[in-house]
Amino acid sequence: MIGSSLLMLVLLIVENAGSVVSPVVTFNPDLNKIFTGQSLQMTCDVDSTLQEDITYFWFKNDNWIHSEKTFSIASALSSDSGNYQCQTSASDLSDSTRLEVYNELFSLPTITQSPQLVTEGDHVTLTCHTRLSPHRKTTVLQFAFYREGQNIQEFSSANTYEIPFVKLSDSRDYKCEVQTSDYRIKKASTTTTIQVNRIGERELFNQSETEVTSKPGTSHVITAVAVTSLVLVLFLIITALMFLYRTKQFSLPGDNKPSSKAEFEEPNDETENIYTDLNTNTARWQSFSQNPQEAMKDHVTENHYIVC
C-alpha cells in the first residue's frame, strides 16, 4: 500500500513538471535592432492557463533588472544592447533574446545654400542633408526649416526650402531639423548665414577677384610699354617741329626761275641787287645743308656785326 502511494506521487510530480511552459520575450515594435533615442517595450508572455497571481522576473546578461510583466526602454542607449530573458514564479526561464542598439539612425544634418554668392533678386535654395543607417534604409524622415529660430517650413518629406526672390532682409541665420515619422528621434543642424549683397556689388567683387588672380608682373609690363610708346611719340613730334622750324628759318625767298631769256640780257642796278641776294642766299643754303652748325654760327656772327 505504501509502495503504491509513493509511485503515484512520483508520477504526479513528473506529470506536473512536464506541463510547465517557458515564457517568451516579445518586442513592441517587433524589432530587435533599434537606434539610440528610440523607444521599445518588452513583454513576458506566458500560458494563459496559469494563475494570474504570479511574479515576473527580468534578466539582462544573466543579471536581474525588473519585476513586472513588461519592461520598457523610453530612449535607447548603446548600453541597452544585450541578451534579455524573463521568468515567472510558475514557469521556467525563457530563451535568451538579443537586442542591438546602434549609435545613429541617421547622421547629424547639415544645411547648405545655393548659390554661395547671393545678390538681390536671386533664387536661393537651402538643402538639409543627412545619411540613413544602412540597417534602416527604408526609414521615412521628415524635414523642417527655421530662420532666426522661427519655423518657416513645417515638417514634410521635402528636404529643401526655396526663396524665389531674395531680398536684403533675408540676410539671416538658418537651420534645419530632421525627425523620424514616429517622432521618436529628432536632430537639428548647425546654423548657416545667408548674406545678401546689393545689386552691383557682385560685379565689383568679380573685378577685384580677377585683379588678385591675374598673372603677377603683367601690369608692370603694360605700364613700361605705354611709357616707352609715349616717349617715342613725343620724340617724333619734337623732331618734326625742329625740322619745320629750320626749314622755315632758312627757306629761299623765291623758287621761280625767269620765264624768258630776255629778262637777263639787260639787267639794271635793281636786278643786279636781287641776283646778288639770291646768290648769297643760295650759298648759305648749300652751306647749311652740308654743315648746319657752322652755317648757324656764321649767320649769328654776321647778324652780330651788323647790329654793332
Distances (CA, A) of 114 to 153, 166, 248, 283: 18, 12, 74, 88
Q: Is the pLDDT of residue 66 over 50?
A: yes
Q: Of 83, 102, 121, which residue constitutes the final position of a domain? A: 102
141 lies in the same domain as 192: yes
Q: What is the mean pLDDT of residues 263-291?
A: 51
98 and 123 in a common domain: no
User: Given this model, what pLDDT does residue 86 score?
Assistant: 93
User: Does residue 131 share a domain with residue 89?
Assistant: no
Whether residues 75 and 50 fall in one domain: yes
In a domain, 224, yes or no: no
Q: Categorize the per-residue pLDDT at 294 as very low, low, confident or very high, splitting at 50, 70 and 90.
A: low
Residue 221 is assigned to a structural domain of this protein:
no
d(CA 126, CA 136): 26
Residue 53 has pLDDT above 80, yes or no: no
For the stretch 140-165, pLDDT in tens is 999 999 999 999 999 999 999 999 99
Q: Looking at residues 119-137, what average pLDDT do you find?
A: 92
pLDDT tens string 164-214: 999 999 999 999 999 998 887 889 999 999 999 998 765 555 555 555 555
- Exposure string of 16-30, with b = 16+ CB inside 10 Å and e = fewer, is eeeeeeebebebeee
CB atoms within 10 A of CB 233: 10
pLDDT at residue 305, as a whole number: 41
Contact call for residues 37 and 75 (beta carbons, < 8 A): yes
Residue 17 has pLDDT above 90, yes or no: no
pLDDT of 6 strictly over 50? no
Count of structural domains within the chain: 3
Residue 41 lies in a domain: yes
Range of the domain at 304: 233-255+269-308
Considering the entire predicted model, what is its pTM? 0.47
Instruction: Determine the average pLDDT of the residues in 234-262.
Output: 68
Q: Over the stretch 74-112, which tens digit does the pLDDT of each residue have?
A: 888 889 999 999 998 888 899 999 999 888 889 999 999
Residue 149's CATH number: 2.60.40.10
Q: Would you say residue 148 lies in a domain?
A: yes
In a domain, 152, yes or no: yes
Domain presence at residue 164: yes
Same domain membership, residue 140 and residue 69: no
189 falls within a domain: yes
